[in-house]
Amino acid sequence: MSECIVVTAANFETEVLQSPVPVLLDFWAPWCGPCKMIGPIVEQLAAEYSGRLKVGKINVDEEADLAGRHGIVSIPSLMVYKDGALANQTAGALPKQNIEALFKDFL
């Protein structure tokens, strides 16, 4: 079972900005091939780091305003929030260790 949460404009403040643990956000779309490649990795990281890291997925087709506010121009895009502020970000399909490197220093 997935440990990922669906992040929307309605719950962004509560789930991301007010989170007591770092948050890894995956901006994705169902039609995106590279998104499908990293999706299982992101879900695996959510399970492995449960309790220490929150993992949220944002469907850019359904949350275009939220994607726009984050300046998303290519997907997949990954962002790490810590203490309510953007701490790290990258775009593109990456191997697991590169994704882990985005948030490891914030745990």
Q: Is 35 a catalytic residue?
A: yes
Domains and CATH numbers, the chain: 5-106 (3.40.30.10)
Q: Are 23 and 53 contacting, i.e. CB atoms less than 8 angstroms apart?
A: yes
pLDDT band at 3 (very low <50, low <70, confident <90, very high): confident
C-alpha 22/C-alpha 13 separation (Å) is: 13
Catalytic residue among 4, 23, 35, 72: 35
Residues 38-92 have pLDDT tens digits of 999 999 999 999 999 999 999 999 999 999 999 999 999 999 999 999 999 999 9
Catalytic residue among 16, 24, 32, 58: 32
Q: Using alpha carbons, select from 97, 66, 95 the residue that is nearest to residue 56.
A: 66
- Whether the model clears a pTM of 0.85, i.e. scores above it, the answer is yes
Q: Is 4 a catalytic residue?
A: no
